[in-house]
Amino acid sequence: MDRPAILVARAVFPETLARLAQHFDVDASADDRVLAPAELAERLRGKAGAFTTGSERIDAALLGACPQLRAVANMAVGYNNFDLAACTAHGVLATNTPDVLTETTADFGFALMMAAARRMAESERFLRRGEWRRWSYDMFTGSDVHGATLGLLGMGRIGQAIARRGALGFGMQVIYHNRSRLPVEREAPLGARYVDKATLLREADHLVLVLPYTAASHHAIGAAELAAMKPSATLTNVARGGVVDDAALAAALRERRIAAAALDVFEGEPQVQAALLDVSNVVLTPHIASATVATRRAMAELAATNLIAALGGERPPNLLNPEVLGRAAG
């Protein structure tokens, strides 16, 4: 019996490829470049599955051109590269890789927040330029993290992990806004307080964004929200590009309407808003919050597990559109 054919759209760990090759005929993009839409569609023709990394747009046009496609597995917790409604309409199972990157991403988000608060990147650039000549009482004075108010916009797995670090490790007061309030048994250990968005913006000393990107969350932080924050506050985004209006943020930073920001994600990445590159009070990293060897291996293995299950007639562990299975059963 012929084995299903799949496309692995980007380079991945050799052991993950070897595991996939035990189940499928694998077309692997070893050169690790992002495939243009037309090339992606061409490579996917006749394929039953795709192993994607968030760079590949799976939409109605592509699905219409690839009628044999049955499953797409993202090596990412986010899936805004998938048109989920189109996947469902075409009967294509879609999966992601939650949970395995929660703690690693929370570590990185907290580190970014601290770097912004204590002006680490700004002061390092100063030192590297050879401008450090003497000590002064106000040289790169930032803001404390311990005992400060940590605000979280979004309170899923990663948000709760960041809250735990702040409350239990740094004695921070935790406030949050989310689509729905957490059960009291999750709030209580953190001393977390649910507030409306206006209160969150007004009271947070350090605001961290950990909400999913959707049409509703596009520019959830824009000029009006930045104006509502404390001038001494910091903003950290480890959620998704598009949640923040990057141009508005650059203007707020340049005019010191907030103290600092730290960003791991950007609108239109890998392109970065040019104005952000010109302000000193921002920490910029290239979407690496999950970038530890152990975590990236776990993500790759989970994506492989999802794809093997989906094309093997089993329910994938991290299925995003279970209604496809329900439709097939009916």
Based on the domain organization, do 25 and 57 belong to the same domain? yes
Based on the domain organization, do 32 and 61 belong to the same domain? yes
| 319 bridge partner residues | 95
Q: Which of 193, 257, 287, 297 is catalytic?
A: 287
Model confidence at 46, pLDDT cuts 50, 70, 90, reads very high
How many alpha carbons lie under 13 Å from residue 289 in its C-beta half-sphere?
32
Based on the domain organization, do 248 and 140 belong to the same domain? yes
Based on the domain organization, do 112 and 10 belong to the same domain? no
Based on the domain organization, do 96 and 106 belong to the same domain? no
Based on the domain organization, do 115 and 61 belong to the same domain? no
Tens of pLDDT, residue by residue over 166-218, are 999 999 999 999 999 999 999 999 999 999 999 999 999 999 999 999 899 99
What burial class does residue 195 get, using C-beta atoms within 10 Å of its C-beta: 0-12 exposed, 13-18 middle, 19+ buried? middle
CATH code for position 33: 3.40.50.720
Based on the domain organization, do 90 and 153 belong to the same domain? no
Based on the domain organization, do 89 and 234 belong to the same domain? no
Q: Which of 103, 203, 269, 301 is catalytic?
A: 269
Based on the domain organization, do 318 and 219 belong to the same domain? no
Q: In total, how many domains does the chain have? A: 2
pTM (predicted TM-score): 0.92
Tens of pLDDT, residue by residue over 85-128, are 999 999 999 999 999 999 999 999 999 999 999 999 999 999 99
Higher pLDDT: 327 or 10? It is 10
Based on the domain organization, do 79 and 142 belong to the same domain? no
Q: For residue 30, is pLDDT > 80?
A: no
Interval 126-131 mean pLDDT: 97
- Give the type of residue at 139: M
CA 75 to chain centre: 12
How far is 130 from 169, CA to CA, in rounded Å? 35
How far is 279 from 251, CA to CA, in rounded Å? 9
Tens of pLDDT, residue by residue over 82-96, are 999 999 999 999 999
Based on the domain organization, do 124 and 16 belong to the same domain? no
How far is 241 from 109, CA to CA, in rounded Å? 15
Residue 287 catalytic?
yes
Asked if residues 207 and 186 have their Cβ atoms less than 8 Å apart, the reply is: no
Based on the domain organization, do 316 and 256 belong to the same domain? no
- Domain of 274 in residue numbering reads as 102-284
Q: Which of 10, 118, 240, 296 is catalytic?
A: 240
User: How high is the pLDDT of residue 330?
Assistant: 42
User: How high is the pLDDT of residue 53?
Assistant: 93
